[in-house]
Structure 1
């Protein structure tokens, strides 16, 4: 599982991702928010509600790390879904302010987390055991991937290289452990090796952003090439 150290550089990656998102939300209208996102069944308002509510959930894990008191992200999936649905009914301006306030709050929380808490073991909603360094990856991933899901002109090719590399590492780790991931090697458009699943199989080549979009199920492989033209069929990402 990919983890990040609690350094100024890491916090800057997360802060910059939040700033890019908020710049695209500056002129969001109620009609814009109600329009469909690129996620099936979710409007843009659902995506923004999730992004803000996710901070509350991650802060529950950070409270667990800080105090030793077990505090799950959510009571159950139904509670998570209800929270997102309820939040999605807010006007665009309120949603944007929630995203802004939650982004600021998350950065304050992680910057102030005591050193011993970074070694504590917690369990996210997905079930794995991890330390808070994993929470930093989750937050960066959610900001960047869901920014593309909004369909406001920000794509995987716009994600800066340092963040793309973190997310490629993270998503590749998940797929490497998943059932049904076919053997293949991924190389970027300079020919540099990005990752490999198993041994053998075709070589998939393309820009790092396009590789990330494919691995996360956000594209069918636009911008990528493989021998014979057919890309391997990947299992669903989370």
Structure 2
């Protein structure tokens, strides 16, 4: 199985998606009802918003896997408005109902990954941004969500807790999407976790780094 990014392989993405889900799940399970309702590191979002977003993302990526498996087009979301409404609704759910949705979606997505054949992984699907990609990129999309939002949850995890090989792949992808050169990155003095957090628009420890705005 191949990907379009030399910084990662398909097997890397599968491993990261699994490990990131485990990290996020552990962080969520440490929260009580008041803790999960508290604010996250994302402006205007509680931890319930974050968990609801990741739960909805599992369902949405499951749609893409279904598309690859059956050949029947199935978009991630009915609309951007519906996606946003689902996240806001998630923030109002009782904690146990929200966590059940999150766990069900994560388990179902992993099972869907396991079902696809090598040929099905090569099928083309369309992301929420309207980009055509092979289904083999979906585990990478999930890995980004679970690892980055595990940090966003605000339970004490930081980018330094994420795997270095994942951070390298993530930093390279965001750099390209932001139109930055490798020289631009070399001009920023900081560790790999801090540089990646800066690129992702998250809190970092780099002095005088320009603000890049939100990402993901």
Q: Same fold (TM over 0.5)?
A: yes
Could you tell me which residue of structure 2 aligns to residue 210 of structure 1? 194
Question: What whole-Å deviation, never above 9, does each CA across 1:168-218 have from its counterpart, x for those lacking one?
Answer: 122122112xxxx5884324xxxxxxxxxxxxxxx1121111111100111
Could you tell me which residue of structure 1 aligns to residue 97 of structure 2? 94
Instruction: Pick 1 or 2: higher relative contact order, CA cutoff 8 A, min separation 6.
Output: 2
CA positional deviation for 1:120: 1.1
**5 Å matches for 1:135-146?**
135-146=138-149
Partner Cα distance (2:214, 2:91) in 1: 25
| Equivalent pair of 1:141/1:167 in contact (CA under 8 Å) | yes
When residues 232 and 24 of structure 1 are mapped into structure 2, their CA distance, relative to the original with a 3 A threshold, is closer
The count of residues paired between Structure 1 and Structure 2 equals: 212
SS of the residue corresponding to residue 188 of structure 2 reads strand
When residues 42 and 232 of structure 1 are mapped into structure 2, their CA distance, relative to the original with a 3 A threshold, is closer
Could you tell me which residue of structure 2 aligns to residue 231 of structure 1? 209
Question: What whole-Å deviation, never above 9, does each CA across 1:40-76 have from its counterpart, x for those lacking one?
Answer: 1111001101111111101111111222222111111
Partner Cα distance (2:182, 2:15) in 1: 35
Partner Cα distance (2:211, 2:98) in 1: 36
SS of the residue corresponding to residue 193 of structure 2 reads helix
CA positional deviation for 1:154: 0.6
SS of the residue corresponding to residue 90 of structure 1 reads coil
| Equivalent pair of 1:28/1:93 in contact (CA under 8 Å) | no
When residues 26 and 233 of structure 1 are mapped into structure 2, their CA distance, relative to the original with a 3 A threshold, is closer
Tell me, yes or no, if structure 1 residue 74 matches structure 2 residue 73.
Answer: no
TM-score (norm 2): 0.88
Question: What whole-Å deviation, never above 9, does each CA across 1:73-103 have from its counterpart, x for those lacking one?
Answer: 1111111011112222222233233222222
SS of the residue corresponding to residue 231 of structure 1 reads coil
Provide the aligned C-alpha RMSD in A.
2.2
When residues 31 and 2 of structure 1 are mapped into structure 2, their CA distance, relative to the original with a 3 A threshold, is farther
Higher helix share: 2
| Equivalent pair of 1:185/1:204 in contact (CA under 8 Å) | yes
Partner Cα distance (1:73, 1:22) in 2: 22
TM-score (norm 1): 0.81
Partner Cα distance (1:182, 1:170) in 2: 11
| Equivalent pair of 2:14/2:140 in contact (CA under 8 Å) | no
SS of the residue corresponding to residue 157 of structure 1 reads helix
SS of the residue corresponding to residue 132 of structure 2 reads coil
Please say which structure displays the higher CA radius of gyration: 1
Could you tell me which residue of structure 2 aligns to residue 165 of structure 1? 168
SS of the residue corresponding to residue 185 of structure 2 reads strand
